[in-house]
Amino acid sequence: MASDRATRGRRPEGDASAKAAAKPRGRRPGASTAREDILDAARELFAERGYDGTSTRAIAAAAAVDPALINHYFGGKEGLFQAVMELPVHVLELAAQAFADATPDDLAHRMLDAFLLIWESPDTAPAMTSMLRRSLADPDRIASIRAFMTAVVLQPAAARLHGIPPQEARLRMSLVATALVGTMVVRRIVCLEPVASMPSEQLRALLLPTVTRCLTGELPIVNTNTTPAEGTSS
């Protein structure tokens, strides 16, 4: 009798191993910090390597979590990037559509369309302005603006600059970023008039020649080895 009760009180070893194997993989038990760990790791890696240079496996490794958790919490790399950047939903899709069939001849138009669609739309402008303000207030988050501009605007545009050496393409993209991000700092953060309240259509018309020249115009050649003349500032 006692032997029977003892036998009934013990779980067969096979049951324990089967239950352990049946536990869902990629999830931490209890109050998990996995989601926050993933966001922290992704924020650091996106800033360091950029969007294209960061893999989900690298993020998972840095966060010490199962890669499956990235899909579980964010739906994949794109969703994670949007969460890190605190971007409105579908911002990446909007930009991708704008560049889908762009040519060098209409690239400046497409870039401005994508940029202003994201920054001027009532659905996305508040979140974008908030992201910009936080980044400017926190030097550690400046990299988020760089990662966003690179992944959403600059890299897709650079891919359409056929026949231009990579170093020159990077220079041209940097000049475009200077014009576009600088404009939004003046418009959304500094609120300098008349740019702050200028209609989007007028802003686009004023930016178009600048962006066009940055992309395809002739760039001045500066001899950086020239010694300043005596009496002039360096």
Work out the average pLDDT over 84-97.
71
Distance in Å from the first CA to the final CA of the chain: 99
pLDDT of residue 96: 73
Token pair of 189 as six digits = 């953060």
Residue 186 has pLDDT above 80, yes or no: yes
Full set of structural domains in the chain with CATH = 32-85 (1.10.10.60), 91-216 (no CATH)
Residue with the larger pLDDT of the pair 73 and 131: 73
pLDDT of residue 115: 86
Highest mean pLDDT among 17-31, 40-54, 144-158: 40-54
Q: Where are the alpha helices (DSSP H) in 100-234?
A: 107-120, 125-137, 142-148, 155-158, 166-184, 200-216
Average of per-residue pLDDT values in the chain: 78
CB 153 within 8 A of CB 111: yes
Percentage of the residues of the chain whose pLDDT score is greater than 70: 75
Is residue 88 within 8 A of residue 124, CB to CB? The reply is: yes
Instruction: State yes or no: cis peptide before 104, omega within 30 of 0.
Output: no
Instruction: Report helix, strand or coil for 27.
Output: coil
Give me the pLDDT at residue 18, please: 45
